[in-house]
Chain A
Amino acid sequence: MTTPTQPIGLDALSRRQFFKLAGIGAAAAGIAGCSSRPAREILPYAARPPELTPGVATYYATSLVQDGHATGVIVETHEGRPTKIEGNPDHPASLGATRAIEQAAVLALYDPQRTRAITDRGTPAGWAAIERVLADARAEHGRGTHVLLEPTSSLVAGELLARIRATLPAARVTFWAPFAARASLAGHRRVFGRPLEGRLALHEADVIVALDADLAGDHPFALAHARHLADRRRVVDGTSRMNRLYAIETSYSPTGILADHRFRVRPSEIELVARELLAELAAAGKAPPELAAARASGPRARWIAAIARDLIGAGGRTAIVAGERQPAEVHALVAGLNAALATTCVTYAPSAVIEAGEASHELGPLATALARGEVTTLLVVGGNPSYTAPADQGLAIDRAERSLYLGAYANETAAACHYVVPGLHDLEQWDVVRAADGTISPQQPMIEPLFDGRSACELLAAWLGDKPVTARERVEAAWPRLVPSASFHQALARGAVRDSAMPAVQVGVAWSALTPNPAAPAPAAYELELRSHPYLYDGRHANNPWLLELPDPITKLTWDNAAQVSPRTAAHLGIHSGDIVALTVAGRALEVPTIVVPGQADATFTLYCGFGRTGTEGVARGVGVSAFRLWTTELGFAAPVEVAVTDRHRTLAITQGHWELEGRDQLPSATLAELGHDPRVRSELAHQRGPQPTLLGKFPHTGVQWAMSIDLTTCSGCSACVMACAAENNTPVVGRQQVLNSREMHWLRLDRYVTGPDEDAPIAVEPMACQHCENAPCEYVCPVEATTHSDDGLNEMTYNRCVGTRFCSNNCPYKVRRFNWFDFKQHSGLQVLARNPDVTVRDRGVMEKCTYCVQRIRRAEIDAREAGRPFQGHDVRTACQQVCPTQAIAFGSLNDATTAVTEHRTRPHDYAVLHDQGTVPRTHYLARIRNRNPELG
């Protein structure tokens, strides 16, 4: 029993929001939870916005930004409250998909640890106080004033910064984000003479080599890359043509999972591999002969030669990519490689992130200035530099006379600064930003700022002394100047400006810049690789419980970080997963638990950044340890490390302990050649589909018959689907202790198995949710018929009928049912606003599971009925399907020859998991197919 006012926390909301939310009086159901005593009051609007019908979702386009790179999204709002984020199909950096991070952004909007009011050393202050600070910062052309921003591509901010440079020449501007892509600019400046970024046309490439490059994972343009890669990997049968992806990396990445060949190398070897590849090409006359000196010897030689031949054979339809973590030298070499291959799939264009003249992109100068006490006013605009600063460049913010922090979250930096101004979440933001390829993407707010926050532009404008205007006015006024070509309103509706990407520039490689013989570093006993976390990124999302509980794509670790180590190295050190080791880099030691991961390069440790937050953010605090403490500017992201094994142990909350298939055939995989003409493989696959002898009657296939098909060849395990499912279906977060006892509530889990014997450990991923069996074992054992079968082939779960015997789970061969062991649902607090009102919030003691997003199906059905048109369900997409960057998931009616699922059923590598159990699952899979290089077998 909840009236909408209770869970929202009226105090936390401006009046205007309250009325937006008040409209959900009727819709309170979604928020109130699975209660049989619903809201007693109806609160109608005082004046209902004309575009809004209570109970009917509205959708708006906007952009989410990370390090200045925009991703276009469509936001679902209910009565003015954002509840779900989808990708924007019209946006080149999204193509309709998002990552897990974007999915979770909606929860971050309602984060209770957001900065709520302007404070001066913790005591409430007014905007006037801030204006005084900024006025002082204007004095003497801004002398002694330093402004520290996150890298940005905002056109509005660009203008303001230009004016700041003009009117406040003495002020110093610094951009900082630990994982901002700077190395490639430096590397390309070396060979091209100007800072450029590579642009990949992966949908045209036949052979792709990823040198420690997580193309489908942490790359700024990952969503587009993933789609383009996958579009060339959709196997219809053995005769299909596939691109070939080589991944050469230290630790496993989603790209490594997708790869046809994956080679484990130590971080220090990446550069050697690049040189040796170049040498092979030089030897083949593709590059200046003097570069051929560095040809490979030893174990690498074989596969490097093979890759080189494969590349040359591809006739320019190749792409070689180096990861942003790699030093400039590697990027230079890779530019050379692409030039040598005269590839048409890699072009070069200026970065979308604004340079702002001679602004520094290093923390060094600012750190020094602070240490020398030369900083009178420090303006920190966004980011969390106190936490992300390299170990050798710690910021002594307290040395500044005045420091001001503008940010949306009460993090470490906020704690360090005198003045704190609430910042804005992207969903509260007016701005014009650019995607990684330069596409202009407007940002419009989905909801009024919850806590009277200010945008970065507003602060900069106030610093310049502009008279205050509303954010919308500022953007609308600037638009004609910034984007003369396009209409503001069309851009808002579309979420992107057509053809506004940065044009590619013609470049020629200065071969002289590439030294043939590297000063090969003396190999250290052990090497440490530092990576951004796939979900927490640089720690900015560490207060988001959704992301903390989302299992890592490879290790399946939740609520923790651990140093990844290969089985061989672990055996050599005599450690097991969970044993704590002390890692020492350049005298700085850090104690972390280890986790044994097949496919990790031997004698290396990989550690994610983003954990070990120490701010006031309650969820993030104390989760894991901060890898930034081992990160120094001179050593970069890969460093020699000393390892000392301690006798302590920490049990890790891992959702899937088993890597092995245990000799079972739940996840078949084959090479393209085998699929074409290997009778054994073909018959093995054929045995896992087709009719089964049964005493039960056949399920009647009339009308729409829902089914799903998942293509494992294009599944990278990125886990966006899991997050999307949680966001769509209100699945609760349970915390580390419950995960330890195997009580995580995700309806969809990504099973990952090592599918091959060799030490490179080829991994395949198998998304596993309710299979909606036609002969569902769960249904006949339920004593109260809480789980039943609908006439359109759904295995329905009626929560409010469930008494919680858990018999269904015991009898589910796929173990995809989840049980509310406690009252997991959140009862109050801002975050209940992120709930989807179309899905019941489950009570304690009831079973739940994947429903094929039945709420979307029924909604579409109702719309069709109301419009009086026959319902075919072509417009229904499940949350996991909609978000998938590689479009690996197909969903539709089996009773309809035009749908993808029907067609997938006819493919030779279509199979059903546990087919021999006769459950007749509605979810089928397309077996993992690898396009192996015949030379490498």
Chain B
Amino acid sequence: MTVDAHDDVLLGRPSDHEVNEQLLSTTWRPMTRGWKILFAICSAFTVLLFALITLTFMRGIGMWGVNIPNAWGFAIINFVWWIGIGHAGTFISAIMLVLEQNWRTSINRFTEGMTLFAVMQAGLFPLLHLGRPWFAYWLFPYPSVMGTWPQVRSALPWDAAAVSTYFLVSLMFWYLGLLPDLAGLRDRAPTRRRRIIYGICALGWRGSTQQWRHHKVAYMLLAGIATPLVVSVHSIVSLDFSITALPGYHSTIFPPFFVAGAIFSGFALVLTLIIPARRWFKLENVITLRHFDLMAKMCMVMSWIAIYSYVAEIFLAWYSGDKFEIYQQIMYRPFGFYAWTFWTMIACNCLVPQLFWSRRMRRNLKVLWIASLLINLGMWLERFEIVVVSLSRDFLPSSWHTYMPTWVDLGILGGTFGFFGLLFLLFLRFVPFVPVAEIKQMRGELEREEAAA
């Protein structure tokens, strides 16, 4: 295969030493002022987050805007949104590994980190939103002195199981991929203290052929386990809604719709994060325009699945002839109290990605970055449509009531951004966020291909 120099997944053929210098040194090179400022801001928001969580625990979730009928609000929206974000990571690292997409190599560690931290944000909310969070463990099956068990017909215990499994598998997958580079750091880090710490984390990785063989097998196995999880987690999350009878919740297309949406928003956030990171850490040679081109295409595909789902929802509402569905989908969402959220969502999720029909746009990082932000907003609003707008207009007009978030709601949402950012900055600081070993491997493969050519 001939490779166009400007459209490669790896520019130039850096030597091992060069690669190490470029990618490992990020962990001991002194951090820039920009990093420190960002770190300070994120820490502040993290403090805010935990302050508001404490407040909520002490006073009760009445501190939020939720009410009857809108018994779910920001907490669930944020949960679904963050868990969705998580999906791109596993999708890129696991599924694309299985599909042998070599362009994943340079970005997979990055997206896996994002996955972990997003799932951590998401994981907060199922606990937070409970009226009595101190009894959250009742959702897990264990032999209790009450002689009671969770109810398997409800989606929530499965939620708890799925999310925690997903987190654990992602963590192991991420860490397994990290091992060789930790060993690399152990061997190259400047100070003894670092070497010892990295050494412990490296769990005695020596890079022997035997270890590499086991590593490959384990990595592939975990990828195999992670792949169905990508589908299952968000399918289960979607059941939180689709098993109900509520107009706007009650829908059979939710599982695929949610998974697609999740990957959609996931890729969008990867773009949001990787574009500045690439700039700051001068990674133009390992994260090339080709990567962005491909990710933009992914976004567009997912956007079309979303468009299809929106259309399907509205069509089915009309086709069912159910007066409640028709009111919710055709009258209230586009023209009701929350109409602006609906149209913003449509603009962000359906119109913006159409830019990516053009190759120029796909490779214009400014456009790409702004687009990715808009898509994230759009996907958040999509969850708002589902969670809140459906609830605020259900069967009996007597119980209709609108929902307004309180400052606590907004604070917690902002706080999760801060917390996420904080974790991500630490990640950038302390581990190589481009898999060094795999880059070297890929370089070898590329060189062999070229030699063959």
Q: A–B direct touch, CB within 8 Å, in complex?
A: yes
Interface residues of A (CB under 8 A from B): 656-658, 660-664, 666, 738, 741-743, 749, 751-753, 766, 768, 777, 780-785, 801-807, 809-811, 813-815, 817-823, 843-847, 913-914, 917, 919
Q: Are A783 and B151 in contact (CB under 8 A)?
A: yes
CA distance A777 to B246 in the complex (A): 10
Tell me which of B131, B146, B243, B391 contacts A781 (CB under 8 A): B243
- 5 closest A-B pairs (Cβ-Cβ)? A804-B131, A845-B131, A821-B62, A815-B399, A783-B156
Q: Which of A666, A753, A803, A914 has the most CB of B within 10 A?
A: A803
**B150 interface residue (CB < 8 Å to A):** yes
**B17 interface residue (CB < 8 Å to A):** no
A694 to chain B, nearest CB (A): 13
Q: Which of B131, B138, B240, B391 has the most CB of A within 10 A?
A: B131
Q: Are A662 and B397 in contact (CB under 8 A)?
A: yes
Tell me which of A664, A666, A803, A919 contacts B131 (CB under 8 A): A803
**B216 interface residue (CB < 8 Å to A):** no
Tell me which of A662, A804, A810 contacts B130 (CB under 8 A): A804
Q: Are A809 and B69 in contact (CB under 8 A)?
A: yes
Q: Are B395 and A914 in contact (CB under 8 A)?
A: yes
Q: Are B396 and A815 in contact (CB under 8 A)?
A: yes
Q: Are A820 and B68 in contact (CB under 8 A)?
A: no
Interface residues of B (CB under 8 A from A): 59-62, 65-72, 129-133, 135-136, 138-139, 146, 148-151, 153-157, 160, 240, 243-246, 249, 323-324, 327, 391, 394-401
Tell me whether A811 and B139 are in contact in the complex, defined as CB-CB below 8 angstroms, given that A658-B397, A784-B151, A785-B148 are known contacts. no
Q: Which of A660, A845, A919 has the most CB of B within 10 A?
A: A845
Q: Are B396 and A751 in contact (CB under 8 A)?
A: yes
Given known contacts A753-B398, A805-B130, A917-B245, what 18 new A-B pairs fall within 8 Å (CB)? A664-B395, A741-B67, A742-B401, A753-B397, A766-B398, A777-B244, A781-B153, A781-B154, A783-B157, A801-B148, A803-B130, A803-B131, A803-B135, A805-B156, A810-B244, A815-B69, A820-B131, A821-B66
Chain B residues contacting A802 (CB-CB under 8 Å) are 131-132
CA distance A743 to B398 in the complex (A): 14
B234 to chain A, nearest CB (A): 18
Tell me whether A821 and B60 are in contact in the complex, defined as CB-CB below 8 angstroms, given that A780-B151, A782-B151, A805-B156 are known contacts. yes
A765 to chain B, nearest CB (A): 10
Q: Are B154 and A783 in contact (CB under 8 A)?
A: yes
CB nearest to A780 among chain B residues: B153
Q: Are A782 and B131 in contact (CB under 8 A)?
A: no
Chain A residues contacting B69 (CB-CB under 8 Å) are 742, 809-810, 815
Q: Are A815 and B68 in contact (CB under 8 A)?
A: yes
Q: Are B395 and A813 in contact (CB under 8 A)?
A: yes
Tell me whether A810 and B71 are in contact in the complex, defined as CB-CB below 8 angstroms, given that A768-B398, A784-B148, A822-B62 are known contacts. yes
Tell me whether A844 and B131 are in contact in the complex, defined as CB-CB below 8 angstroms, given that A781-B154, A815-B399 are known contacts. yes
CB nearest to B244 among chain A residues: A811
Q: Are B245 and A664 in contact (CB under 8 A)?
A: no
Chain B residues contacting A657 (CB-CB under 8 Å) are 400-401
Q: Are A805 and B398 in contact (CB under 8 A)?
A: no
Tell me whether A819 and B397 are in contact in the complex, defined as CB-CB below 8 angstroms, given that A784-B151, A847-B131 are known contacts. no
A321 to chain B, nearest CB (A): 32
Chain A residues contacting B394 (CB-CB under 8 Å) are 813, 815
Chain B residues contacting A784 (CB-CB under 8 Å) are 138-139, 148, 150-151
Q: Are B72 and A806 in contact (CB under 8 A)?
A: yes
Tell me which of B59, B68, B324 contacts A742 (CB under 8 A): B68
CA distance A913 to B394 in the complex (A): 14
CA distance A664 to B395 in the complex (A): 9
| Main SS at interface, chain B | loop
CB nearest to B153 among chain A residues: A780
B320 to chain A, nearest CB (A): 12
CB nearest to B243 among chain A residues: A781
Tell me which of A660, A662, A742, A847 contacts B67 (CB under 8 A): A742
Chain B residues contacting A768 (CB-CB under 8 Å) are 396, 398
Chain A residues contacting B67 (CB-CB under 8 Å) are 741-743, 821
Q: Are B154 and A780 in contact (CB under 8 A)?
A: yes
Q: Which of A656, A780, A805 has the most CB of B within 10 A?
A: A805
Chain A residues contacting B157 (CB-CB under 8 Å) are 783
A-B contact pairs, 26 of them (CB 8 A): A658-B398, A664-B395, A666-B395, A741-B67, A752-B398, A753-B398, A768-B398, A781-B153, A784-B148, A803-B135, A805-B131, A806-B66, A806-B72, A810-B69, A811-B244, A815-B395, A815-B396, A819-B71, A822-B59, A822-B60, A844-B131, A844-B132, A845-B131, A914-B396, A917-B245, A919-B245
Chain A residues contacting B148 (CB-CB under 8 Å) are 784-785, 801
Q: Are A845 and B130 in contact (CB under 8 A)?
A: yes
A465 to chain B, nearest CB (A): 58
Q: Are A783 and B150 in contact (CB under 8 A)?
A: yes
CB nearest to B67 among chain A residues: A742
Tell me which of B60, B153, B240, B398 contacts A751 (CB under 8 A): B398
Q: Are A803 and B151 in contact (CB under 8 A)?
A: no
A105 to chain B, nearest CB (A): 29
Tell me whether A664 and B156 are in contact in the complex, defined as CB-CB below 8 angstroms, given that A782-B151, A845-B130 are known contacts. no
CA distance A783 to B146 in the complex (A): 15
Tell me which of B68, B160, B240, B327 contacts A818 (CB under 8 A): B68
Q: Are A656 and B132 in contact (CB under 8 A)?
A: no
Chain B residues contacting A919 (CB-CB under 8 Å) are 245
CB nearest to A777 among chain B residues: B245
A667 to chain B, nearest CB (A): 9
Chain B residues contacting A742 (CB-CB under 8 Å) are 67-70, 401
Q: Are A805 and B396 in contact (CB under 8 A)?
A: no
CB nearest to B250 among chain A residues: A811
Chain A residues contacting B151 (CB-CB under 8 Å) are 780, 782-785
B78 to chain A, nearest CB (A): 16
CA distance A88 to B61 in the complex (A): 43
Q: Are B61 and A845 in contact (CB under 8 A)?
A: yes
CA distance A502 to B394 in the complex (A): 54
Chain B residues contacting A843 (CB-CB under 8 Å) are 132
CA distance A809 to B71 in the complex (A): 7
CA distance A657 to B392 in the complex (A): 13
CA distance A784 to B68 in the complex (A): 21
Q: Are B68 and A809 in contact (CB under 8 A)?
A: yes
Q: Are A846 and B131 in contact (CB under 8 A)?
A: yes
Tell me whether A781 and B62 are in contact in the complex, defined as CB-CB below 8 angstroms, given that A658-B397, A846-B132 are known contacts. no
Tell me whether A810 and B397 are in contact in the complex, defined as CB-CB below 8 angstroms, given that A803-B132, A822-B60 are known contacts. no
Chain A residues contacting B401 (CB-CB under 8 Å) are 657, 742
CA distance A108 to B146 in the complex (A): 40
Chain A residues contacting B160 (CB-CB under 8 Å) are 783
Q: Are A813 and B60 in contact (CB under 8 A)?
A: no
Tell me whether A814 and B68 are in contact in the complex, defined as CB-CB below 8 angstroms, given that A801-B148, A820-B131, A846-B132 are known contacts. no
Chain B residues contacting A781 (CB-CB under 8 Å) are 153-156, 243-244
Chain A residues contacting B246 (CB-CB under 8 Å) are 810-811, 813
B52 to chain A, nearest CB (A): 16
Chain B residues contacting A663 (CB-CB under 8 Å) are 323
B146 to chain A, nearest CB (A): 8
A746 to chain B, nearest CB (A): 11
A919 to chain B, nearest CB (A): 8
Tell me which of B60, B324, B400 contacts A845 (CB under 8 A): B60
Chain A residues contacting B65 (CB-CB under 8 Å) are 741
CA distance A743 to B150 in the complex (A): 28
A453 to chain B, nearest CB (A): 38
CA distance A753 to B400 in the complex (A): 13
CB nearest to B406 among chain A residues: A741
Chain A residues contacting B156 (CB-CB under 8 Å) are 781, 783, 805, 807
CB nearest to B391 among chain A residues: A810
CA distance A813 to B249 in the complex (A): 12
CA distance A784 to B153 in the complex (A): 10
CA distance A193 to B61 in the complex (A): 67
CB nearest to A787 among chain B residues: B151
B245 to chain A, nearest CB (A): 5
Chain B residues contacting A806 (CB-CB under 8 Å) are 66, 71-72, 131
Tell me whether A749 and B395 are in contact in the complex, defined as CB-CB below 8 angstroms, given that A664-B323, A742-B69, A810-B246 are known contacts. no
